[in-house]
Amino acid sequence: MDKKTESSSAADKVIVQAIHMDLTDALKAAVINKCERLFRHQERIIRIRVYLDHDKRRTGKPHFTAKGHIEIGGPDMVVTMESDDAYKAIDMMAQKLDRLLRVRASAHKKKRLHPHAVELDAVIPKVGVAAE
């Protein structure tokens, strides 16, 4: 797969929504750029939803929240990060999702490479090989 096809497929699987703020092209590009890295780790990701929220009710500094939701086979992964800068919140959210995907992949790899014996309480009949 060439680079252009890979990035367009990642952009198709990333849904970005802004709450209480305008979604600029730069913000959307930053989210897609950060989420492309997640697709490299795990190709079975169905969709990534990113919600960006600007809380105007808090006094003082602006308050941004980035919520990432990865839809994948098995339990979904949800991360929420808060910061005073939107780009910083996006970056922290992508890093946390990246860590969760790595932990999930290492757990699957460990389970695959180190199987454990299963003990059953039931009696299983032995089947002999038929003589020819």
First to last CA, the chain: 52
Split at pLDDT 50, 70, 90, the class of 43 is confident
Element (H, E) at 88: helix 86-113
71: pLDDT strictly greater than 60: yes
Asked if the structure places residue 10 within a domain, the reply is yes
Against a cut of 0.85, is the pTM above it?
no
Pair 14, 50: CB distance under 8 Å? yes
**How much is the pLDDT for 41?**
75
Smallest CA-to-CA distance from 54 within 83, 32, 25, 96 is with: 83
Q: DSSP letter for 103, please.
A: H
How many separate domains does the chain show? 1
Q: Which domain holds residue 49?
A: 3-113
Split at pLDDT 50, 70, 90, the class of 3 is very low
Asked if the structure places residue 119 within a domain, the reply is no
Smallest CA-to-CA distance from 35 within 82, 85, 90, 74 is with: 90
CA neighbours closer than 13 Å in the CB half-sphere of residue 36: 13
Asked if the structure places residue 123 within a domain, the reply is no
Task: Calculate mean pLDDT across residues 18-34.
Answer: 90
Smallest CA-to-CA distance from 35 within 107, 96, 108, 106 is with: 96
Split at pLDDT 50, 70, 90, the class of 113 is confident
CATH code at position 93: 3.30.160.100
Asked if the structure places residue 54 within a domain, the reply is yes
